Amino acid sequence: MKIAVITENSQAAKNCIIEDALKSVVEPLGHEVYNYGMYTPEDKAHLTYPMVGLLAASILNAKAADFVVTGCGTGTGSMLACNAMPGVFCGLVIDPTDAFLFAQINDGNAIAMPYAKGFGWAAELNLQDCYRKLFEGESGVGYPKERAAVMAKNRGVLADLKAASCKDMLTVLKSVDQDLLKTAVSGERFEEYFYANSQDEEISAYLKSL
Protein backbone atom coordinates (compact mmCIF):
# COMPACT_ATOMS: atom_id res chain seq x y z
CA MET A 1 0.00 0.00 0.00
CA LYS A 2 1.13 3.53 -0.80
CA ILE A 3 0.39 5.94 2.06
CA ALA A 4 0.56 9.71 1.54
CA VAL A 5 1.26 12.11 4.42
CA ILE A 6 -0.10 15.66 4.19
CA THR A 7 0.42 18.17 7.00
CA GLU A 8 -1.53 21.45 7.20
CA ASN A 9 0.45 24.67 7.65
CA SER A 10 -0.30 25.35 11.33
CA GLN A 11 1.19 21.97 12.27
CA ALA A 12 4.05 21.81 9.77
CA ALA A 13 6.67 21.72 12.53
CA LYS A 14 5.32 18.28 13.55
CA ASN A 15 5.61 16.74 10.10
CA CYS A 16 8.78 14.82 10.94
CA ILE A 17 7.17 13.38 14.11
CA ILE A 18 4.18 12.21 12.08
CA GLU A 19 6.31 10.72 9.30
CA ASP A 20 8.66 8.92 11.70
CA ALA A 21 5.77 7.45 13.72
CA LEU A 22 4.01 6.26 10.57
CA LYS A 23 7.10 4.74 9.00
CA SER A 24 8.02 2.90 12.19
CA VAL A 25 4.68 1.07 12.01
CA VAL A 26 3.90 0.60 8.33
CA GLU A 27 7.28 0.03 6.68
CA PRO A 28 7.79 -3.30 8.52
CA LEU A 29 4.36 -4.28 7.13
CA GLY A 30 5.60 -3.65 3.58
CA HIS A 31 3.84 -0.34 2.98
CA GLU A 32 5.45 2.75 1.41
CA VAL A 33 5.19 6.29 2.80
CA TYR A 34 5.19 9.38 0.57
CA ASN A 35 5.51 12.63 2.51
CA TYR A 36 3.89 15.49 0.55
CA GLY A 37 4.62 18.07 3.28
CA MET A 38 4.41 20.65 4.61
CA TYR A 39 7.84 19.78 5.98
CA THR A 40 8.53 22.95 7.97
CA PRO A 41 6.66 26.18 8.74
CA GLU A 42 9.07 27.91 6.34
CA ASP A 43 7.99 25.92 3.26
CA LYS A 44 7.11 28.12 0.28
CA ALA A 45 3.91 26.14 -0.36
CA HIS A 46 1.63 26.80 2.62
CA LEU A 47 -1.12 24.20 2.77
CA THR A 48 -4.30 25.44 4.40
CA TYR A 49 -6.86 22.83 5.36
CA PRO A 50 -9.02 23.44 2.25
CA MET A 51 -5.89 22.80 0.18
CA VAL A 52 -5.35 19.57 2.11
CA GLY A 53 -8.69 18.35 0.76
CA LEU A 54 -7.76 19.24 -2.82
CA LEU A 55 -4.35 17.61 -2.56
CA ALA A 56 -5.67 14.47 -0.87
CA ALA A 57 -8.41 14.08 -3.48
CA SER A 58 -5.97 14.58 -6.35
CA ILE A 59 -3.67 11.90 -4.95
CA LEU A 60 -6.44 9.38 -4.22
CA ASN A 61 -8.46 9.87 -7.40
CA ALA A 62 -5.34 9.55 -9.54
CA LYS A 63 -4.38 6.44 -7.54
CA ALA A 64 -1.00 7.98 -6.80
CA ALA A 65 -1.54 6.61 -3.27
CA ASP A 66 -4.03 4.25 -1.65
CA PHE A 67 -4.45 6.06 1.67
CA VAL A 68 -3.91 9.57 3.02
CA VAL A 69 -2.83 10.44 6.57
CA THR A 70 -3.47 14.11 7.26
CA GLY A 71 -4.57 16.48 9.99
CA CYS A 72 -4.53 20.00 11.37
CA GLY A 73 -4.95 21.61 14.79
CA THR A 74 -8.12 19.68 15.68
CA GLY A 75 -8.31 17.38 12.66
CA THR A 76 -11.83 18.57 11.93
CA GLY A 77 -11.00 21.10 9.21
CA SER A 78 -8.90 18.63 7.24
CA MET A 79 -11.58 15.96 7.64
CA LEU A 80 -14.30 18.29 6.34
CA ALA A 81 -12.16 19.42 3.39
CA CYS A 82 -11.34 15.83 2.45
CA ASN A 83 -14.94 14.67 2.69
CA ALA A 84 -16.05 17.55 0.45
CA MET A 85 -14.11 15.92 -2.39
CA PRO A 86 -15.15 13.07 -4.70
CA GLY A 87 -13.80 9.63 -3.89
CA VAL A 88 -12.46 10.55 -0.44
CA PHE A 89 -13.81 8.93 2.73
CA CYS A 90 -12.01 10.50 5.67
CA GLY A 91 -12.43 9.72 9.35
CA LEU A 92 -11.47 11.80 12.37
CA VAL A 93 -9.05 9.71 14.43
CA ILE A 94 -8.04 10.85 17.91
CA ASP A 95 -7.15 7.59 19.62
CA PRO A 96 -6.51 3.92 18.73
CA THR A 97 -10.16 2.97 19.27
CA ASP A 98 -11.20 5.55 16.65
CA ALA A 99 -8.61 4.12 14.27
CA PHE A 100 -9.75 0.53 14.80
CA LEU A 101 -13.45 1.28 14.41
CA PHE A 102 -12.90 3.48 11.34
CA ALA A 103 -10.88 0.74 9.65
CA GLN A 104 -13.28 -2.05 10.53
CA ILE A 105 -16.62 -0.27 10.06
CA ASN A 106 -16.04 2.53 7.55
CA ASP A 107 -13.02 1.15 5.64
CA GLY A 108 -12.20 4.61 4.30
CA ASN A 109 -9.14 5.86 2.45
CA ALA A 110 -8.06 8.82 4.60
CA ILE A 111 -7.80 9.93 8.21
CA ALA A 112 -7.45 13.35 9.78
CA MET A 113 -5.84 13.70 13.19
CA PRO A 114 -5.51 16.54 15.73
CA TYR A 115 -1.89 17.68 15.89
CA ALA A 116 -2.44 20.55 18.35
CA LYS A 117 -5.46 19.67 20.51
CA GLY A 118 -4.37 17.00 22.98
CA PHE A 119 -0.97 16.61 21.31
CA GLY A 120 1.15 16.48 24.45
CA TRP A 121 3.59 14.20 26.22
CA ALA A 122 4.11 10.85 24.39
CA ALA A 123 1.98 12.03 21.47
CA GLU A 124 4.15 10.03 19.10
CA LEU A 125 3.18 6.85 20.96
CA ASN A 126 -0.50 7.60 20.39
CA LEU A 127 0.25 8.13 16.69
CA GLN A 128 2.00 4.77 16.48
CA ASP A 129 -0.85 3.00 18.29
CA CYS A 130 -3.39 4.59 15.94
CA TYR A 131 -1.41 3.57 12.86
CA ARG A 132 -1.18 -0.01 14.15
CA LYS A 133 -4.94 -0.22 14.54
CA LEU A 134 -5.36 1.18 11.04
CA PHE A 135 -2.86 -0.84 9.07
CA GLU A 136 -1.93 -4.06 10.89
CA GLY A 137 -5.14 -5.99 10.28
CA GLU A 138 -7.58 -6.44 7.43
CA SER A 139 -9.91 -3.46 7.00
CA GLY A 140 -13.64 -3.66 6.48
CA VAL A 141 -14.10 -6.86 8.47
CA GLY A 142 -16.76 -5.21 10.61
CA TYR A 143 -17.30 -4.62 14.30
CA PRO A 144 -19.05 -6.40 15.78
CA LYS A 145 -18.38 -9.17 13.25
CA GLU A 146 -22.03 -10.19 13.03
CA ARG A 147 -22.85 -6.79 11.52
CA ALA A 148 -20.17 -6.98 8.84
CA ALA A 149 -22.62 -7.54 5.96
CA VAL A 150 -24.81 -4.58 6.99
CA MET A 151 -21.75 -2.34 7.32
CA ALA A 152 -20.43 -3.36 3.91
CA LYS A 153 -23.83 -2.58 2.36
CA ASN A 154 -23.90 0.84 4.02
CA ARG A 155 -20.41 1.63 2.72
CA GLY A 156 -21.67 0.91 -0.78
CA VAL A 157 -24.71 3.12 -0.24
CA LEU A 158 -22.48 5.94 0.99
CA ALA A 159 -20.16 5.55 -2.00
CA ASP A 160 -23.16 5.78 -4.33
CA LEU A 161 -24.43 8.90 -2.52
CA LYS A 162 -21.05 10.57 -2.84
CA ALA A 163 -20.81 9.68 -6.52
CA ALA A 164 -24.25 11.18 -7.09
CA SER A 165 -23.57 14.35 -5.13
CA CYS A 166 -20.01 15.09 -6.31
CA LYS A 167 -18.57 15.98 -9.68
CA ASP A 168 -15.75 13.86 -11.06
CA MET A 169 -12.27 14.88 -9.91
CA LEU A 170 -11.13 16.31 -13.24
CA THR A 171 -14.18 18.60 -13.34
CA VAL A 172 -13.46 19.65 -9.76
CA LEU A 173 -9.86 20.49 -10.60
CA LYS A 174 -10.95 22.62 -13.54
CA SER A 175 -13.71 24.36 -11.56
CA VAL A 176 -11.96 25.35 -8.33
CA ASP A 177 -9.95 28.51 -7.78
CA GLN A 178 -6.85 27.84 -9.87
CA ASP A 179 -4.48 29.78 -7.62
CA LEU A 180 -5.69 27.67 -4.68
CA LEU A 181 -5.09 24.50 -6.68
CA LYS A 182 -1.65 25.62 -7.86
CA THR A 183 -0.55 26.21 -4.27
CA ALA A 184 -2.00 22.86 -3.15
CA VAL A 185 0.13 20.97 -5.69
CA SER A 186 3.28 23.10 -5.48
CA GLY A 187 4.96 21.23 -2.64
CA GLU A 188 8.67 20.45 -2.86
CA ARG A 189 8.20 16.74 -3.67
CA PHE A 190 4.80 16.77 -5.37
CA GLU A 191 6.11 16.27 -8.90
CA GLU A 192 8.52 13.55 -7.81
CA TYR A 193 5.90 11.53 -5.95
CA PHE A 194 2.67 12.24 -7.80
CA TYR A 195 3.60 11.82 -11.45
CA ALA A 196 5.66 8.70 -10.80
CA ASN A 197 2.67 6.99 -9.18
CA SER A 198 -0.44 8.53 -10.79
CA GLN A 199 -2.61 6.11 -12.77
CA ASP A 200 -4.90 8.79 -14.22
CA GLU A 201 -3.43 10.40 -17.33
CA GLU A 202 -6.11 13.10 -17.55
CA ILE A 203 -5.61 14.31 -13.97
CA SER A 204 -1.84 14.22 -14.41
CA ALA A 205 -1.99 16.13 -17.69
CA TYR A 206 -4.23 18.83 -16.24
CA LEU A 207 -2.06 19.35 -13.17
CA LYS A 208 1.04 19.52 -15.36
CA SER A 209 -0.64 22.17 -17.48
CA LEU A 210 -0.85 24.47 -14.47
Q: How confident is the model at residue 127 (pLDDT cuts 50, 70, 90)?
A: very high
User: What letter would DSSP give residue 118?
Assistant: T
Residue pLDDT, tens place only, 130-186:
999 999 999 999 999 899 999 999 999 999 999 999 999 999 999 999 999 999 999
**What is d(CA 183, CA 156) in angstroms, rounded to the nearest whole number?**
33
pLDDT in tens, 183-204: 999 999 999 999 999 999 999 9
Listed by start position, the domains of the chain span: 2-209
Query: What pLDDT score does 181 carry?
Result: 97
Q: Kindly list the distances between the CA atom of residue 45 and the CA atoms of 9, 12, 39, 199, in Å, as whole numbers in the listed order.
A: 9, 11, 10, 24
Query: Percent of the chain beyond pLDDT 90?
Result: 99
What's the CA gap between 36 and 9, in Å, rounded?
A: 12
Hey, is 96 helix, strand or coil?
Answer: helix
Write down the pTM of the prediction: 0.96
Beta bridge partners of 90: 110
How high is the pLDDT of residue 148? 92
Q: Are strands 2-5 and 32-35 parallel, antiparallel or unpaired?
A: parallel
CATH number given to 2-209:
3.40.1400.10
- Backbone phi, then psi, for 78, in 5-degree steps? -65, -40
